[in-house]
Structure 1
Amino acid sequence: PFYGYCRPAAGGRLLFGIETSDREEWRVSDMDFRLDDLLRSTDLRYTEAVLREKIKENFSSYFPPIKNIRWESSKTGLLTFSMDGEPILGPVAEVPGLFVGVAFHSGGFAYNPVSGLLLAELVTDGKTSVNIDAFSPSRFSNEQTEKYLAQTVQQKNVAKRRH
């Protein structure tokens, strides 16, 4: 598997990304957590320099100029997964007025435009142009959700769909 992506960014830049599926789960334990903490890994397999080299390695056969690329910055993020591996899209019954579009795992770039459109339809019209019931937050009970969030699931063991 390739486990990476590239897309154009503002100012003639390119944005490259890589997944680290064998990385241990990262628990967010308090409000002081910062995503950039993930770039300061104590695991030598995941230092910023190692990940940049991995991106070069993964992309060099498709995009040879990457071998000599100058890195402007690095960012990090967390992939989110639902219990069944499908996105969660729609209103949260317990919080009137709250609509969510989450758990797209690594497919966010693909899902964002359509999920934004569907959520906008739902918020403004109260319905969507296609049926999104299968992605409703209410498909999981509070008890199921609490149990799922309490367990440790490695990314490589999560139901991950490539749509």
Structure 2
Amino acid sequence: MTSELAKRLGVEQQFTEGRTQEEWMRHLYAQSREAIPELPTFEEFRKQGIFKKRDPQGHHVAYKAFREDPQANPLTTPSGKIEIYSQALADIAATWELPEGDVIDPLPIYTPGFESYQDPLNKQYPLQLTGFHYKSRVHSTYGNVDVLKAACRQENVDQPA
């Protein structure tokens, strides 16, 4: 679908780099095999339909030391604990000049993003193109959790036909 949109917008060659969907799958799979040599060949993978690799370090537990002994292993927050309210964000919100509509809140709240489906421009421009939001993380949050990186590789998504 995105290739067809690129074609209609006159940028198909730049978008696809001259590769078909099949060629892209093979290309990306070959790159993955360089990083993980034990991956089966592309043809074998298509027959299997799945490949699982366990993290050799075992299951990662976030904040393990803190959870085991919070007194001896405090977090780097002002209280040394998990904090819901952020005084640092409250200070920023009180002192920064923000563009109209921008919000910094010391509590975790929902704030509609710009150019979202809630944007008034949506009435004039109803087609919205969005990027794929990967399932194992939010932006860079959780991007450094080894067990998620091992279980949900972002670099390659292969679905045999």
Tell me if TM exceeds 0.5.
Answer: no
What range describes the TM-score normalised by the shorter chain of this pair?
A: under 0.3
TM-score, normalised to structure 2, is: 0.23
TM-score, normalised to structure 1, is: 0.23
Structure number with higher strand proportion: 1
